[in-house]
Chains A and B, each alone.
Chain A
Amino acid sequence: MIRALRAEFAKLKRARMPLWTLLTVCGYGVISATMTSALLRPEAATKIGASGGAFAKAAAAGLYHSNWANYLRFNQQGIAGAWGILLFGLVAAYLFGREFSEGTAKNMLTLPLRREWFVLAKFVVLAVWVLALTLLSVAAQVAFGALLKLDGFSWSLVRTCLVDSLRVSSLLFLTLPIVGWLGMLGRGYLPPMLFSGLMQGATTALVVTKWAAWFPWSMPVLLVGASWFPVANPQKLVASSWMVALGVFVGGIGLLFWQIDHADNAQ
């Protein structure tokens, strides 16, 4: 297992994907800071409101106040509803699909190591990667927020942002085995990314329905509030929601183990 883990980390040396994911997260921080900065000026808020959309209308109506509490909420809401599904999905697709797109799966599967170790090692790397992106997103959000000179800063707000971001990322992490499995099944990046895109779309569609509490991809949105502004009365996750999420995780891991041990792994 340790050998497989070392190899999985070594494979990332000079790889561009980690850098692209870091830049994406920072890019989101820049966007949320820019938006907050614009909303500090009432005339800009009115203009944004004219463009339509729930957030814009709320901002124009003065329901969104540009302070630290609201600004930091951008982060967990961004992970849950804007970039988490797609970016974490991309990371999972990369880790599992890469072996097939680069023709290295046949090498990996003919090594004198249990194949399950590779799956587990990839999951450890995936977890570290997701954690790093989440921590970076919080750090970036705080750093860019400091430049805006917003009112009402406190470390407890940062702590809340960090904890909520980690909860959201953890929930999304539970959906990633299925994405990884699709990377192996489809032997590349396209099928898992199409799937992630589909889940992102489904989340947007389902989040306002009662089904959201049982759809693992929309659960993170419910966890931190279904709306961008603090006026919503979000649905709560129930015990069965967590069972569904865990079921998806365990089922995904099972599919991965089955795929690597029993399916034809031709390239």
Chain B
Amino acid sequence: MDTAGGVPNLQQGEVVIRTEGLTKRFGDVRAVDGLELVVRRGEVYGFLGRNGAGKTTTIRMMLALMKPSDGYVEVLGQRMAPNATRAFERIGSMVETPGFYGNLTVRENLEMQRDLLGLRRSAWVDEIIEMCDLGEYLSRRASKLSLGNKQRLGLGRALLHKPEVLILDEPTNGLDPVGIVDIRGLLKRLASERGITVFLSSHILAEVQQLATRIGIIHQGRLLEQIGFDELRRRSRTYVEFRVSDLKRAAWVLEDECGVHDYAVHEGDALRVYSDFERAGELNGALVQAGVAVSGMQLCEENLEDHFVRLTGGLDEEEAAQPAASTPRRWRR
């Protein structure tokens, strides 16, 4: 595992978020169990896990909304605890569904936030309104906003004081596809143009794959892995995937007739061969000759979903149902 201890030449100040043995127990249940997590400056860190894996609890501890049972969180070098006011001056956050004062308008909510943050210039609010595309809803009460616009307002609230770190819990939860693309675009711009470090949790793999430069996978409260996307790509195995009509027969053909043993059955009608790529045509011919219809054959590389499944042992229905949309599920050669 690539943890703080394992990161070579880690310079002082480079680490923006660090957890040490972070644990949260609810009775006998360990919601978060000994989490050792490192987020570096400028990263877009995708915190992945299934529903109930411990993502939100971790984020709540990061923001001192919950007290760890053991261990601690440091953000920007400061141990997080209630009244860690200096740290909060540099952190923007949005935890799950953003909450607002429904009787106040969009502008009034932002102006109140500006006042609470001690920001004098109203121009900061105007800037956020433009950035989050909230111009046409300024005089609308927050309670009348759509979920998508509430998410934008939540993000605007989090960004108002130009934080160095943005901690977001499921920022695209409940959004329609267009809303997801908008928020994703905004986060990408913030990271690239403003150099904001973004820590976002999600159970939607396609979203994280398009945003994050580095991921951490949490499962049943434990951090299974932290890995950069470059490293993930380097590690990803290449394979030839055959879509076949009869998996049993196809497996028999590969093993007994072609002598291929490095393969795996996947997703119902898919059979993946992890070696002998140069023999792909020959294998295809052998399958067809043995009466197995081949509806597709392609050279692929493992993606985040494959990696996640291998680590956690499967996908929830909801995770599996996430549309690939513009996100290619495979990096084709």
Chain A residues with CB under 8 Å of chain B are 3-4, 6-7, 10-11, 13-16, 102-107, 109-116, 260-267
Q: A102 to B99, alpha carbons, bound, how many Å?
A: 6
Which A residues are in CB contact (< 8 Å) with B60? 264, 266
Which residue among A14, A15, A110 has the maximum number of chain B CB atoms within 10 Å of its CB?
Answer: A110
Q: Are B89 and A14 within 8 A (Cβ)?
A: no
Could you tell me the distance in whole angstroms from the C-beta of A19 to the nearest C-beta in chain B? 11
Instruction: Map CB proximity to A onto B73-104 as digits: 1 under 8 Å, 0 otherwise.
Output: 00000000011011011010101111111111
Given contacts A3-B115, A106-B63, A113-B85, 16 further A-B contacts (CB under 8 A): A6-B115, A10-B112, A10-B115, A13-B104, A16-B103, A102-B99, A104-B99, A109-B64, A109-B82, A110-B65, A112-B89, A115-B82, A262-B67, A264-B66, A264-B67, A265-B66
User: Does B6 interact with chain A (Cβ within 8 Å)?
Assistant: no
Q: Are A266 and B66 within 8 A (Cβ)?
A: yes
Q: Are A112 and B85 within 8 A (Cβ)?
A: yes
Q: A264 to B64, alpha carbons, bound, how many Å?
A: 9
User: Does B157 interact with chain A (Cβ within 8 Å)?
Assistant: yes
Q: A265 to B103, alpha carbons, bound, how many Å?
A: 23
Tell me the nearest residue of chain A to B97, going by C-beta: A103
Q: Are B117 and A111 within 8 A (Cβ)?
A: yes
User: Does B118 interact with chain A (Cβ within 8 Å)?
Assistant: yes
Which A residues are in CB contact (< 8 Å) with B97? 103
Q: Can you give 17 A-B contacts (C-beta < 8 A)?
A: A10-B108, A11-B104, A11-B112, A13-B103, A14-B104, A15-B103, A102-B100, A105-B99, A106-B65, A106-B93, A110-B88, A112-B89, A114-B83, A261-B82, A262-B67, A265-B65, A266-B66
Which B residues are in CB contact (< 8 Å) with A7? 112, 115-116
Q: Given A10-B108, A265-B66, A107–B157 Cβ distance below 8 Å?
A: yes
Q: A109 to B82, alpha carbons, bound, how many Å?
A: 8
Q: Are B88 and A111 within 8 A (Cβ)?
A: yes
Q: A3 to B119, alpha carbons, bound, how many Å?
A: 11
Tell me the nearest residue of chain B to A260, going by C-beta: B82
Q: A262 to B81, alpha carbons, bound, how many Å?
A: 9
Which residue among B86, B91, B116 has the maximum number of chain A CB atoms within 10 Å of its CB?
Answer: B116
Which A residues are in CB contact (< 8 Å) with B157? 107
Q: Are A110 and B63 within 8 A (Cβ)?
A: yes
Q: A109 to B65, alpha carbons, bound, how many Å?
A: 7
Q: A16 to B143, alpha carbons, bound, how many Å?
A: 14
Q: Are A112 and B86 within 8 A (Cβ)?
A: yes
Tell me the nearest residue of chain A to B26, going by C-beta: A264
Tell me the nearest residue of chain B to A104, going by C-beta: B99
